[in-house]
Structure 1
Amino acid sequence: MSQSDADILLEAKARLHDQAGRLNDWTGLSSHCNWTAITCHPVSHAVLSIDLTNMGISGPFPSGFCRVSSLVTLKLGWNSINGTVSTTDLAPCHRLHQLDLVSNLLVGPLPEFVPDFTSLLELDLSQNNFSGPIPPSFGRFPVLQILNLYSNFLSGTVPGFLGGLTELTELRLALNPFDRGPLPLEIGNLTNLEFLWLAYANLAGRIPASIGNLARLKHLDLSNNFIEGPIPESIGGLRSVELIVLYANRISGELPQSLGNLTTLRQFDASENGLTGELPETFAGLHLEFVGLNDNFLSGEIPALMATNPNLVNLKIFNNSFSGEIPQYLGRYSDIEEIDVSKNMFSGGIPPDLCIRGSLRRLVAFRNRFTGDLPASLGDCDGLYYVRIQDNEVSGEVPERIWGLAKMYHLELSNNKFHGPMASSISTAWNLTKLLISGNNFSGEIPQEICHLKDLTMFDAGMNRFSGNLPPCIVGLSKLEQLDLQGNMLTGQIPVGSWKDLTELNLSMNDFSGEIPSQLGNLPVLTYLDLSSNRLTGEIPGDLANLKLNIFNLSGNDLTGKIPAGFDSSLYIPSLVGNPNLCSDSNSHLGLFPKCPLITVKNKLNFRCARVALYTALGLGLVLLAGLFWFRRFRSARTGKFKRGPSWKSTSFQRIGLDEAEIFECLTVENIIGSGGSGQVYRVVLKSGQTVAVKQLWTGPRGPETEREFRAEVETLGMVRHGNIVKLLFCCSAEGFKGLVYEYMANGSLREALHCEKGSLPLDWNRRVGIAVGAAQGLAYLHHDCVPAIVHRDVKPSNILLDAEFRAHVGDFGLARALHKEGGDCVTTQVAGSCGYIAPEYAYTLKINEKSDVYSFGVVLLELVTGRRAVDPSFGENKDIVKWVTDEIASRDGGNDLDFRYLMDPRLQASSGEYEEMVRVLRVGLLCTNYLPMNRPSMRMVVDLLRGHRDVSFFLSDCQK
Structure 2
Amino acid sequence: MRLLVFAPALWLFLQLSPLAIALNQEGLDLLQAKAGLDDPNNALANWNSGDATPCNWTGVSCFVAGGRLTVTTIELQGLDLAGPFPPSFCSLPNLSFISLSSNYINTSLLDSSLLHCSALTHLDLSQNLLVGPLPSALPSLPLLGYLDLSGNNFTGAIPPAFGYFPSLQNLSLTSNLLNETIPPFLGNISTLLQLNLSYNPFTASTIPPNLSNLTNLEILWLAGCGLVGEIPRELGNLVKLTNLDISGNSLTGEIPETLSRLTSVVQIELYNNHLSGRLPLGLSNLTALRRIDAAMNSLSGLIPDDVFSIPFLENLHLYQNQLNGSLPATAGKARNLFELRLFMNRLSGPLPVDLGTNSPLMFLDISNNQLNGEIPSGICDRGVLQELLLIDNNLSGVLPPDLGRCRTLTRVRLSNNLLSGEVPAGLWGLPHLSILELTDNSFSGAIAADITGANNLSNLLISGNQFSGKIPEGIGSLPNLYEFLAADNKLTGPLPDSLGELPELEQLDLHNNSLSGELLSRIQSWKKLTLLNLAVNQFSGRIPPELGSLPVLNYLDLSDNQLTGDIPIQLQHLKLNQFNLSNNQLSGLIPPNFHNEAYKNSFLGNPGLCSDLTGSCLSSTGHGRNRSKFLWLLRSIFILAAVVLVVGIALFYCKYKRIKKAKKGLDKSKWILTSFHKLGFSEYEILDSLDEDNVIGSGASGKVYKVVLGNGEAVAVKKLWKTPKSEEGNQHQVAYDAFESEVATLGKIRHKNIVKLWCCCAHKDCKLLVYEYMPNGSLGDFLHGSKSGLLDWSTRYKIALDAAEGLCYLHHDCVPAIVHRDVKSNNILLDADFGAKVADFGVAKATEGIGKGPKSMSVIAGSCGYIAPEYAYTLRVNEKSDIYSFGVVILELVTGKLPVDPEFGEKDLVNWVCSTIPQKGEEQVIDAKLDLCHKAQIIKVLHIGLLCSSSLPINRPSMRRVVKMLVELREDSMSKPLPNGGKLSPYYYEDDKPSAT
Taking structure 2 as the reference length, what is the TM-score of the superposition?
A: 0.70
In structure 2, the partner of 1:523 is 550
1:653 and 2:680 matched: no
Deviations 1:731-769 (A, max 9, x none): 799xxx9983399xxxxxxxxxxxxxxxxxxxxxxxxxx
In structure 1, the partner of 2:159 is 135
1:69 and 2:84 matched: no
Distance 1:55 1:146, change over 3 A: same
The Cα of 1:787 is off from its aligned counterpart by 6.0
Distance in 1 separating the partners of 2:545 and 2:275: 58
Check conservation: 2:260, 2:283, Cα contact below 8 A: yes
In structure 2, the partner of 1:544 is 571
Q: Secondary structure at the match of 1:66?
A: helix
Deviations 1:6-53 (A, max 9, x none): 555455555444455544525365224344433222343233223333
Q: Secondary structure at the match of 1:451?
A: helix
In structure 2, the partner of 1:90 is 114
Check conservation: 1:290, 1:315, Cα contact below 8 A: yes
Amino acid at match of 1:229: G
Q: How does 1:43-192 map to 2 (within 5 A)?
A: 43-44=65-66, 45-113=69-137, 116-192=140-216
In structure 1, the partner of 2:929 is none
1:418 to 422, 436, 443: 443
1:554 and 2:581 matched: yes
Check conservation: 1:174, 1:201, Cα contact below 8 A: yes
1:482 and 2:535 matched: no
Distance 1:153 1:464, change over 3 A: same
The Cα of 1:687 is off from its aligned counterpart by 9.4
Q: How does 1:491-890 map to 2 (within 5 A)?
A: 491-496=516-521, 497-498=523-524, 499-585=526-612, 596-597=617-618, 652-658=675-681, 717-721=745-749, 728-730=756-758, 740-741=771-772, 779-782=811-814, 785-786=816-817, 812-813=838-839, 820=850, 821=876, 825-826=880-881, 828=885, 831-833=888-890, 838=944, 841-845=947-951, 851-859=957-965, 869-872=968-971, 875=974, 880-882=977-979
The Cα of 1:692 is off from its aligned counterpart by 10
In structure 2, the partner of 1:294 is 319
Deviations 1:180-238 (A, max 9, x none): 22223233333333333322221222323333333443333332222233333333333
Distance in 2 separating the partners of 1:546 and 1:384: 42
In structure 2, the partner of 1:805 is none
Amino acid at match of 1:480: L
Deviations 1:504-549 (A, max 9, x none): 1111222333333333222221111112223333343333222211
Amino acid at match of 1:854: R
In structure 1, the partner of 2:798 is none
Distance in 2 separating the partners of 1:774 and 1:445: 42
In structure 1, the partner of 2:384 is 359
The Cα of 1:155 is off from its aligned counterpart by 1.4
CA RMSD of aligned residues (A): 5.0
Distance 1:315 1:595, change over 3 A: farther
Distance in 1 separating the partners of 2:945 and 2:357: 44
Percent identity over paired residues:
38
Check conservation: 1:724, 1:777, Cα contact below 8 A: no
Distance 1:221 1:614, change over 3 A: closer
2:497 to 464, 467, 472: 472
Distance 1:66 1:628, change over 3 A: same
Q: Secondary structure at the match of 1:92?
A: coil
Q: Which deviates more from structure 2 when the two are superposed, residues 376-385 or residues 228-237?
A: 228-237
Check conservation: 1:713, 1:814, Cα contact below 8 A: no
The Cα of 1:463 is off from its aligned counterpart by 1.5
Amino acid at match of 1:161: F
Distance 1:574 1:167, change over 3 A: same
Distance 1:553 1:475, change over 3 A: same
The Cα of 1:475 is off from its aligned counterpart by 2.4
Deviations 1:610-643 (A, max 9, x none): 9899778856775688689999999x9xxxxx99
Check conservation: 1:562, 1:596, Cα contact below 8 A: no
Q: Secondary structure at the match of 1:426?
A: helix
Distance 1:514 1:619, change over 3 A: closer
Check conservation: 2:130, 2:152, Cα contact below 8 A: yes
Distance in 1 separating the partners of 2:349 and 2:208: 36
Deviations 1:912-942 (A, max 9, x none): xxxxxxxxxxxxxxxxx89644652389x9x
Check conservation: 1:285, 1:311, Cα contact below 8 A: no
Distance in 2 separating the partners of 1:605 and 1:526: 29
Check conservation: 1:722, 1:781, Cα contact below 8 A: no
Q: Which deviates more from structure 2 when the two are superposed, residues 342-351 or residues 621-630?
A: 621-630
Q: How does 1:874-913 map to 2 (within 5 A)?
A: 875=974, 880-882=977-979
The Cα of 1:170 is off from its aligned counterpart by 2.0
Q: Secondary structure at the match of 1:845?
A: coil
Distance in 2 separating the partners of 1:552 and 1:111: 66
Distance in 1 separating the partners of 2:626 and 2:567: 27
Q: Secondary structure at the match of 2:140?
A: coil
Distance in 2 separating the partners of 1:604 and 1:426: 48
Q: Which deviates more from structure 2 when the two are superposed, residues 171-180 or residues 841-850?
A: 841-850
The Cα of 1:145 is off from its aligned counterpart by 1.2
Distance in 1 separating the partners of 2:636 and 2:601: 37
The Cα of 1:426 is off from its aligned counterpart by 1.5
Distance in 1 separating the partners of 2:336 and 2:513: 45
Check conservation: 1:157, 1:179, Cα contact below 8 A: yes
Distance 1:779 1:825, change over 3 A: closer
1:937 and 2:958 matched: no
Distance in 1 separating the partners of 2:753 and 2:465: 33
Check conservation: 1:716, 1:813, Cα contact below 8 A: no
What 5-or-longer segments of structure 2 have no aligned partner?
Answer: 1-21, 689-706, 719-734, 762-767, 775-803, 851-875, 894-937
- Point out which structure has higher relative CO (alpha carbons under 8 A, 6+ apart): 2
Check conservation: 2:753, 2:838, Cα contact below 8 A: no
Q: Secondary structure at the match of 2:64?
A: coil
Amino acid at match of 1:859: M
The Cα of 1:685 is off from its aligned counterpart by 14
In structure 1, the partner of 2:277 is 253
Q: How does 1:196-595 map to 2 (within 5 A)?
A: 196-280=220-304, 282-284=306-308, 287=312, 290-296=315-321, 307-496=332-521, 497-498=523-524, 499-585=526-612
Check conservation: 2:824, 2:885, Cα contact below 8 A: no
Check conservation: 1:274, 1:297, Cα contact below 8 A: yes
Distance 1:633 1:39, change over 3 A: farther
1:42 and 2:64 matched: yes
Distance 1:204 1:306, change over 3 A: farther
The Cα of 1:716 is off from its aligned counterpart by 7.9
Distance in 2 separating the partners of 1:453 and 1:844: 43
Distance in 2 separating the partners of 1:606 and 1:506: 32
Q: Secondary structure at the match of 2:55?
A: helix
In structure 1, the partner of 2:52 is 30
Distance 1:85 1:725, change over 3 A: closer
Check conservation: 2:957, 2:989, Cα contact below 8 A: yes
Distance 1:812 1:376, change over 3 A: same
The Cα of 1:149 is off from its aligned counterpart by 0.2
Q: Which deviates more from structure 2 when the two are superposed, residues 90-99 or residues 141-150?
A: 90-99
Distance in 2 separating the partners of 1:488 and 1:333: 42
Check conservation: 2:107, 2:131, Cα contact below 8 A: yes
Check conservation: 2:582, 2:606, Cα contact below 8 A: yes
